[in-house]
Amino acid sequence: MPFTLNPEVGASLAKLFGTSPPPPPEVGDVNTRRERTAAHFGALKTLMTAIEDVETQDFHTKAEDGHEILCRWFTRKNYKLAGSSAICYAHGGGMIALDVDFYDPLIKRYVSRSGVPFMAIDYRLAPEVKAPIPVTDTYAGLQYLHVHAPELGVNPERIAIMGDSAGGGITASLAHYIKLKNGPAVCKQILVYPMLDDRNTIKDGAIAPFAIWSSDDNKTGWGALLGDRIGGEDVKPFEAAARMTVADAKDLPPAYIDVGELDIFRDEGLEYARKLGQAGVSCEFHLLPSVPHAFEVFAPDSEVARAAMDFRHKAITSF
């Protein structure tokens, strides 16, 4: 039987996008994708229930080239931190769009439920910067969290890295970059429908009708990040994590991955989990039926979104 879309998710998508969405932008059109993504996330923010029990504080640190990076610290109000775990977070946006401000309500949901504080890193976007700058910016934010862990009430041995979509890809690449640099240890990598493979630019006919993020979008995002190196032989795992070999995977932190079966990132997520397993790296993997990319953002009250959030909550509180 052919794929079908989860009806709860489908109803939410129809409400947000309408039954006659505008034609997709051309490959390489970053600005239109930025504008549409910002408009969709802006609309979603107005529909979300406000999270009142989480507060934020902004810090800044320097990237390797001196650029000042925003690091936003999310904590539950009146929640004493002493030796707490913490998460360093990279937001989504296809490598080309969004920022920490758009992700405020999404991160607050995780913090409110779990009590685990998050530090979200406002890494720079492509095409204004090229790989591996989003990864090295996030690495600078992770270093800041480690250095300041005692004053933030965090145990530096209980820090994990996490991201969704492009941020999931950046998080996976960050694990490789940490290993390369012998950087601060992290105890887990939590990858939510991660964008891992710059070679994933061919339309999958079975998924294409449901794709929120399409193969053309993927070609645009990776092209903006890698330029004419996209799909080439010299791309490294700390730039596109799917380039890892089993040998590269050895000694990476244990992983959590979830992805919908109607997401173009499905197969690259499965392959990444397979390589981690072959390298002896523990990986919890969830393939969620009948849902596309970012399903829980568009339909947060659906049964499948609640199930996914339960899985993530267990991962977030597991260390």
Check residue 65 and give its pLDDT: 96
| Residue at 2 is within a domain | no
Mean pLDDT of 164-176: 99
| Residue at 210 is within a domain | yes
Q: Give φ, ψ of 282 to 5 degrees.
A: -65, 135
| Residue at 310 is within a domain | yes
- Given 164, 258, 263, 290, the catalytic residue: 263
pLDDT bin (cut points 50, 70, 90) of residue 241 is very high
Distance CA(265)–CA(30), nearest Å, equals 20
Q: What is the CATH number of the domain that holds 155?
A: 3.40.50.1820
pLDDT bin (cut points 50, 70, 90) of residue 110 is very high
Which domain does 77 fall in, by range? Answer: 7-316
Residue 304 has pLDDT above 80, yes or no: yes
Check residue 80 and give its pLDDT: 83
Q: What percent of the chain has pLDDT over 90?
A: 93
In terms of pTM, does the model score above 0.95? yes
Total domain count, the chain: 1
Check residue 46 and give its pLDDT: 84
| Residue at 48 is within a domain | yes
Place of tokens 């061919």: 202
pLDDT bin (cut points 50, 70, 90) of residue 79 is confident
| Residue at 146 is within a domain | yes
pLDDT bin (cut points 50, 70, 90) of residue 243 is very high
For β-strands 118-121 and 68-76, DSSP reports them as antiparallel
- Given 84, 114, 165, 214, the catalytic residue: 165
Mean pLDDT of 281-306: 97
Task: Examine the residue annotation and report whether 293 is marked as an active-site residue of this protein.
Answer: yes
